[in-house]
Amino acid sequence: MNVQERYRLWSENPYFEEEIQQELKEITDPQEIEDRFYTDLEFGTGGLRGIIAAGTNRMNKYVIRKVTQGLAECVCDHGPEGMQRGVVIAYDSRKYSPEFALEAGLILAKNGIKVYLFDALRPTPELSFAVRHLRALAGIVVTASHNPKTYNGYKVYWDDGGQVPPVKADQILARINARENWLGIEPMSLDEAKRSGLLQIIGEEIDQLYLSRVKELALYPDLDAQKGKELKIVYTPLHGAGNILVRRALSELGFSSVQVVHEQEHPDPEFTTVPYPNPEAPATFELARNYGNEMKADLLLATDPDADRLGVVLRKPQGDYIQLTGNQIGIILTYYILSQKKSLGTLPNNAAIIKTVASTDLADEVARYFNVRVENVLTGFKFIAEKEREMEEGGWGTFQFGFEESYGYLAGDFVRDKDAIIASVILAEAALYYQQVEGRTFFDVLESIYQQFGYYVEDQESLTLEGKRGKEEMALIMNTLRQEEIHELCGMTIERFDDYEQRISKNLRTGQTEPLKLPRSNVLRYSFSDGGFVMVRPSGTEPKIKFYISVKADTRTEADDLNCKLKKELMERIAKIRSA
DSSP state of 519: P
Q: Which residues contact 299 (CB under 8 A, 6 or more apart)?
A: 231, 232, 233, 234, 312, 313, 314, 315, 427, 428, 431
Residue length of the chain: 580
Strand, helix or coil for residue 231: coil
* Residue 534 half-sphere exposure toward CB, CA atoms < 13 A: 27
- Strand ranges (DSSP E) for 70-170? 87-91, 115-118, 138-142, 151-158
Neighbours of 540 (CB within 10 A): 17
Please say whether the beta carbons of 245 and 307 come within 8 A.
Answer: yes
Strand, helix or coil for residue 334: helix
Query: Could you tell me the CA-to-CA distances from 289 to 320, 327, 362, 533 in Å, in that order?
Result: 9, 21, 29, 33
Helix (H) or strand (E) holding 213, with range, is helix 204-215
Nearest to 184 by CA among 5, 14, 60, 3: 14
Selecting among 145, 406, 505, 527, the annotated active-site residue is 145
Q: What backbone torsions phi and psi does residue 430 show, to the nearest 5 degrees?
A: -60, -45
Whole-angstrom distance, CA of residue 428 vs CA of residue 424: 6
Whole-angstrom distance, CA of residue 126 vs CA of residue 501: 33
What angle separates helix 326-344 from helix 362-369, to the nearest 10 degrees?
0
Whole-angstrom distance, CA of residue 375 vs CA of residue 465: 32
145 labelled catalytic: yes
Whole-angstrom distance, CA of residue 234 vs CA of residue 291: 7
What's the alpha-carbon Rg for the chain, to the nearest Å?
A: 24
Whole-angstrom distance, CA of residue 486 vs CA of residue 482: 9
Cβ-count burial 336-353 (b if 16+ within 10 Å, e if not):
bbbbbbeeeeebeeebbb
Neighbours of 12 (CB within 10 A): 12
Active site residues: 145
